[in-house]
Every structure is written in structure tokens, then in C-alpha cells.
Amino acid sequence: MSIRIGIVGYGNIGRGVECAVLQNPDMELKAVFTRRDPENVSILTDTAQVCRVDDIIKWQGELDVVILCGGSATDLPVQTPEYAKYFNVIDTFDTHAKIPEHFANVDKSAKENGKLALISVGWDPGLFSIARLYSSSVLPQGQDYTFWGYGVSQGHSDAIRRVEGVKDAKQYTVPIEEAIDAVRNGENPTLTTAQKHIRECFVVLEDGADPVKVEETIKNMPNYFADYNTIVHFISEDELKEKHSEIPHGGVVLRSGVTGLNGEHHHVIEYKLKLDSNPEFTSSVVIAYARAVYRLANEGQTGCKTVFDIAPSYLSALSGEELRATML
């Protein structure tokens, strides 16, 4: 029997989850739940239904894992604790500072209702967090570094779009290779986020806007750009569409540490992602963890968990025996 998946929210992540389900023969998408009129939402999976999100509770017992694909700002803080009353759920909550609070809310709700919830799945938080955990456990005397990019930052792109005179924009976060190399060489540099990244902006101006003024406004925007080496390119709307409509991302997590009686040997652990599509990759991580949630729920586990709490073998479609024979 397949693992029966439900999706709440059909944006980039929702569509990515749908595609990821299709790559995994042990899973089946049963339904997509949307706030829009289902008549107007067309999905890729013929055998799945499109339903109003308000009707989801009728699906109790019909779905093994429900993937919550809303935003971290306002959707997930409400949706995850709510739907964990009725289903085993996974979300991609990525507001790092609010994870403890979110965890507590979801844990309470899931435990009270005998469900299993897994929060903050993806690559950061997610695979990058796992890399940090393994590396720091193995090299307790060391330092962690995370670099992001080359990739599109949605938040920074939005910030540019709010500038007067800007019609559209895309912002790429670019890691500074020299800084990464300094870490690789064991120099243990002290680096702020601004010292690790360049911000490269591709901006389409409104007719008649002043490029000098727009560029200055962007470069001086506090928090977003003021502390960074920011590069602004003005391009046409056509060029933006043609060359900047994809959503690549990635980054690298490094741990530089020492071993030996006097720390005489240096080691570098590096975990790097280069992703053509941020939402599709995030969704692929989520779907691997859906397998884990399904299995752990069948073992009777309840409450809220994170990727830290899940043994790697639960993610794979292969048996323990197969894994030991082929992958260990």
C-alpha cells in the first residue's frame, strides 16, 4: 500500500511536493487543499483531488501524512498546530528564531491528539542543520560557518520591489569565495554575514525613474543591503523574464576543527548544495521525511519532532538490510 499524501497550499512548494511524490513509487498524492476555488486550480496528478482547505477535516483517516506548504510568517504558526490535531503533518517553518516557540505549540497539539508532527524540514533549516549537528559533534573543538548562495533571496527581492521607481527585481545572494577558502584553509576567520556575502541585484526601472536615486536607495537600505557589498544592474523587463525567472539557491556549511592531544591536526568538513530550484529541492527533502513520519507514526510515535530526531534509515525506501549491503 502506498503512503497517502495530502498537500495544503499549492504554491511553489506545493507543486514541488507534487513532483517529488511522482518520483517515489511508494507514495501517492491523494488531495491538494487550497484556499482558492478548487475549480480554478489545476494540478499535475490526474488521480488526486483538489479540495477546499476547509474540507480537510473530512479526510481524517484517508491521508497518512499532510504536507503544509504555507508561509512561515503567518500560515504555519497557525496551520501546523491546528492540522496536527487531525493528521500527521510536516512543515517547512524556517523562521529560525521562532522555532522553539513553534515546536512547543505543535508538540502540545500533536501529543494531545496522538499525531506525529515534523517541523522545519528542508535544507536550511533541514539538511544544513543536520550537517552542523554531525560536524560539531564529531569535532567539538572547532567552528561552524554557513554561506548561502549562489541563489535568489525572496525577501531581498521583495525589499527592492518596494523601492520607489522599481518595477520588478531579483536579488542574488553570492557567497564570497575568498572567505570560504579562508575557512577551508583553517584560518578560522571571524566573519559577519555581510563579510561572507555579496548582494547582486537585477532591477527593472519604472518609466522615467532615476537610476542613480534607485541605486542609492537600495544600497543604503538598513538590514537588507547597507552592510553589504551590493551590486545593482539595471536591465529590461524582457531580460529579467528571460534570464532571471528561475529560483536557484544553495550554499555551504563548513566545520573547521582540530584533534590530537594538543589540537595538532586540522580537519574540514564541508557540506555543499547547488540547487537549480530551491522550492523543488526543499520539497524533495520534505517527501523523503514524509516516509519517515509515516513509519514512525506506525511505530506509535507522537508529538513534535525535528530532523535531528530522525535516524537516516527512515528516509530511504530501501530496507535496513539493503542499505547495509549497498550504501554503508
Amino acid at site 322: E
Alpha-carbon distance of 124 to 120, in angstroms, equals: 8
Q: Which is nearer to a second copy, 178 or 264 (CB)?
A: 264
- Check binding of 73 to a second copy (CB under 8 A): no
Residue 146 pairs in a beta bridge with 253
Q: Which is nearer to a second copy, 226 or 327 (CB)?
A: 327
Touching a second copy, residues 195-254 (CB under 8 A): none
272 Cα distance to chain centroid:
14
Least distance CB 79 / a second copy (angstroms): 19
**Which are the contacts of 101, defined by CB distance < 8 A and separation ≥ 6?**
none
Q: List the one residue from 19, 176, 191, 194 that touches a second copy (CB under 8 A).
A: 19
Touching a second copy, residues 258-317 (CB under 8 A): 259-261, 265-277, 280-281, 283-285, 288, 291, 306-313, 315-317
Q: List the one residue from 22, 53, 179, 182 that touches a second copy (CB under 8 A).
A: 22
Alpha-carbon distance of 125 to 278, in angstroms, equals: 13
Strands 265-275 and 249-259: antiparallel
Q: Which is nearer to a second copy, 151 or 230 (CB)?
A: 151
Q: Are 227 and 192 in contact (CB under 8 A)?
A: yes
Long-range pairs for 215-223: beta carbons < 8 A, 24 or more residues apart: 217/163, 217/164, 218/160, 218/163, 221/159, 221/163
Number of residues engaging a second copy in binding (CB under 8 A): 68
What are the residues binding a second copy (CB under 8 A)?
16, 19-20, 22-24, 44, 96, 99-100, 103, 120, 125, 127, 129-134, 136-141, 184, 259-261, 265-277, 280-281, 283-285, 288, 291, 306-313, 315-317, 320-321, 323-325, 327-328
